[in-house]
Structure 1
Amino acid sequence: MRVIEITRPGGPEVLAIAERPKPRPGPGEVLVRVKAAGVNRPDIQQRRGLYPPPPGATDLPGLDIAGIVEAAGEGVVWPAVGEPVCALANGGGYAEFCVVPAPQCLPLPKGSSFIEAAALPEVYFTAWNNVIWLGRLAAGETLLVQGGTSGVGMAAIQIAKLLRGARVIATAGTEEKRAVSREIGADFAIDYRGDWPAAVRAAVGERAVDVVLDAQAGPYTEKQLDLLASDGRVVLIASHLGEMAEVNVRNIVRRRLTLTGSTLRPRDATYKGRIARELAAEVWPLIETGRIRNHVCAVFAFEDVAKAHALMDAGEQVGKVVLSLDG
């Protein structure tokens, strides 16, 4: 099968098409003939040498796919061979075939193409894990999403608004992106290049944020903690602005704040399967009825993967970038 390898750490030019043996599914796994694969920020970080695969995972990038089940390993009840699925992969999505634990598969939402479905798993698994499970966002609370037009940001905004009735604040760097954030449900869209903490306070009041979803960390961390209401939660999913932060621990203790983080990729199939079941029950029906909007920013041919990564490097995308293996 054809695959896309990272030949060395670096820019998009280090991605190369190669050939490898077609993998076989083990117990509890399925082999998917990939029709489309999502391009995600962890793929970019892995290409740069900043996000190594967890032990036991393939070195091939690619965390979400859509395609048709080609074979099933021992003990798999669903999905069946021939079933169209989308799935959260543990890596290896940049290939013509990908092995995935069966619990991490989901049916294609009714009416969705393979391209559209490949844009769903990584961002919705991540948003659900961090906003609903770790952030414990409750009905009527306020959520601050740093980066409202990233794939995860757009998923988080829509989940928070439609399933929790939350008040949502999103940050974005251009007026076009802020307009998109508002269109999908954000009550306030703020320019992160300015004094965004002051803008948040002006919008919703002093320390009125209950949950923050952030991939920046570094100097953002203490500012976000300072915005929280008592019992508020900051959930970090990356540290693009720096891995070190100085925080006021007394403030955390006094106001019972939570500062936490997560990486989903190393979690086992049982954990991810629980998320998949909740997404199927609560999110997929909203996608099928059009209440949750699926945003595919750009589609590239498999051979043009370097162009897809260059777009991500430029930070110009709104929503998801997808690779097509289906012509």
Structure 2
Amino acid sequence: MVRMTHQGKMRVIDVPVPGGPEALTLVSRPVPSAQRGDVLIKVEAAGVNRADLKQRAGDYPMPSDAPTVPGLEVAGTVLATGAEVDEFDVGDRVCALLIGGGYAEYVVAPAVQCLPIPESLSFVEAAGLPETVFTTWAALFEQAGLQPGETVLIHGGASGIGTTAIQLAAAFGAKPLATAGTAEKVALCKDIGAVLAINYRQDDFVERVLEFTAGHGVDVVLDMVGGSYSQRNLESLALHGRICFIAGDEAPEAVFNIRQIMLKRAVITGTTLRHRTPKEKGRLRSIIKERVWPLISQGSFKPVIGAEFPMASVADAHAALESGRHAGKIVLRI
């Protein structure tokens, strides 16, 4: 085990003033040092998430200790370790979940939020794992309690979280249904395991879900849309069904028919990841390492990367994510 500091400057993408993609600014900052329980990572790739877009626009309730530099997940090589870090050594390939700061050449991450990169994955692929896998596991399998044999409707099926949720639901014996906005995205959802993929621009997803389930509805709905989808999710739900919100991209407000909630004995819940403590994230990480990581080596799960951009083109990466035309994760090469 080598414990050291790394001095010097690094390039980071900061947001001095909230705004559009043009607000993303390349600046120089000191390289951070690994403290007790931390690892210092030389970043090779960083995932781009919708939370980054909202943070850049000044429309995101960030934790008080989060940096202004966006970036919730990275992949790279361990450059140094702090005291009490025994699992990782200098030179190890890791991916990490962060509270922020991932758009940088170097980051410090709690060791309990890091995972070894499977040999079969590149840095770019691994950078697309932490945020989607942690979120999917917390939402589907813990908050919503998805069980083998149950059906789950996954909105945004071709997104980073959507493609992860489809694959993990199928791998653990559930039956994933998905919505997507183009024929190409619908085909992708089917290719990675969706038993039904619905083009929401052409079909009413409530009608298609009820038709597919012989009128019973799905056991779980995973939704990041909110707004007008909320009541329609309830209409798609089976008796004792659960709706789990992980975002409200259309609108954070929801209107439900309370009588339908009562009759279906439905559970409406939600979860977030960024505001959780390192201890809680470490708990999730331990479960994911045990339950999800073996699926990668078995070939049952692989991140879907939609596009890669160099660090200097971060504004283009944000514009691409905002356009909604991509499928899978968008990743920055640092």
Given the alignment of the two structures, is residue 70 of structure 1 paired with residue 79 of structure 2, yes or no? yes
Asked if the contact 1:87–1:104 (Cα under 8 Å) also holds between the matched residues in 2, the reply is: yes
Asked if the contact 1:184–1:293 (Cα under 8 Å) also holds between the matched residues in 2, the reply is: no
Q: TM-score if structure 1 supplies the norm length?
A: 0.96
Give the Cα–Cα distance (whole angstroms) in 1 for the partners of residues 214 and 231 of structure 2. 18
Q: 2:131 is paired with a residue of what secondary structure?
A: helix
Matches within 5 A, 1:127-206: 127-163=136-172, 165-193=173-201, 194-206=203-215
Deviations 1:199-249 (A, max 9, x none): 211122324211100001111111111221121110001111112222122
Q: State the shift of 1:43 in Å.
A: 0.8
Aligned residue type for 2:90: V
Q: State the shift of 1:44 in Å.
A: 1.2
Aligned residue type for 1:229: A
Q: Indicate which of 60, 78, 92 corresponds to 1:83.
A: 92
Superposition CA RMSD, Å: 1.3
> Which position in structure 1 is the counterpart of 2:274?
265
> Which position in structure 2 is the counterpart of 1:323?
332
Higher mean C-alpha deviation, range 299-308 or range 76-85: 76-85
Matches within 5 A, 1:285-324: 285-324=294-333
Asked if the contact 1:28–1:73 (Cα under 8 Å) also holds between the matched residues in 2, the reply is: yes
Q: 1:95 is paired with a residue of what secondary structure?
A: coil
Give the Cα–Cα distance (whole angstroms) in 2 for the partners of residues 228 and 105 of structure 1. 36
Aligned residue type for 2:85: V
Q: 1:20 is paired with a residue of what secondary structure?
A: strand
The number of residue pairs the alignment matches comes to 324
Q: 2:331 is paired with a residue of what secondary structure?
A: strand
Give the Cα–Cα distance (whole angstroms) in 1 for the partners of residues 11 and 306 of structure 2. 25
Higher mean C-alpha deviation, range 173-182 or range 281-290: 281-290
Give the Cα–Cα distance (whole angstroms) in 1 for the partners of residues 171 and 132 of structure 2. 16
Given the alignment of the two structures, is residue 14 of structure 1 paired with residue 23 of structure 2, yes or no? yes
Give the Cα–Cα distance (whole angstroms) in 2 for the partners of residues 122 and 242 of structure 1. 22
> Which position in structure 1 is the counterpart of 2:6?
none
Give the Cα–Cα distance (whole angstroms) in 2 for the partners of residues 84 and 20 of structure 1. 24
Q: Percent identity?
A: 47
Matches within 5 A, 1:33-44: 33-44=42-53
Matches within 5 A, 1:38-57: 38-57=47-66
> Which position in structure 1 is the counterpart of 2:131?
122
Query: Which consecutive unaligned segments of at least 5 residues does structure 1 have?
Result: none
Q: TM-score if structure 2 supplies the norm length?
A: 0.94
Q: 2:30 is paired with a residue of what secondary structure?
A: coil
Aligned residue type for 2:177: I
Matches within 5 A, 1:239-254: 239-254=248-263
Q: State the shift of 1:37 in Å.
A: 0.6
Asked if the contact 1:31–1:72 (Cα under 8 Å) also holds between the matched residues in 2, the reply is: yes
Aligned residue type for 1:183: D
Q: 2:273 is paired with a residue of what secondary structure?
A: coil
Aligned residue type for 2:165: A
Give the Cα–Cα distance (whole angstroms) in 1 for the partners of residues 21 and 297 of structure 2. 35
Query: Which consecutive unaligned segments of at least 5 residues does structure 2 have?
Result: 1-9
Given the alignment of the two structures, is residue 230 of structure 1 paired with residue 239 of structure 2, yes or no? yes
Higher mean C-alpha deviation, range 212-221 or range 271-280: 271-280
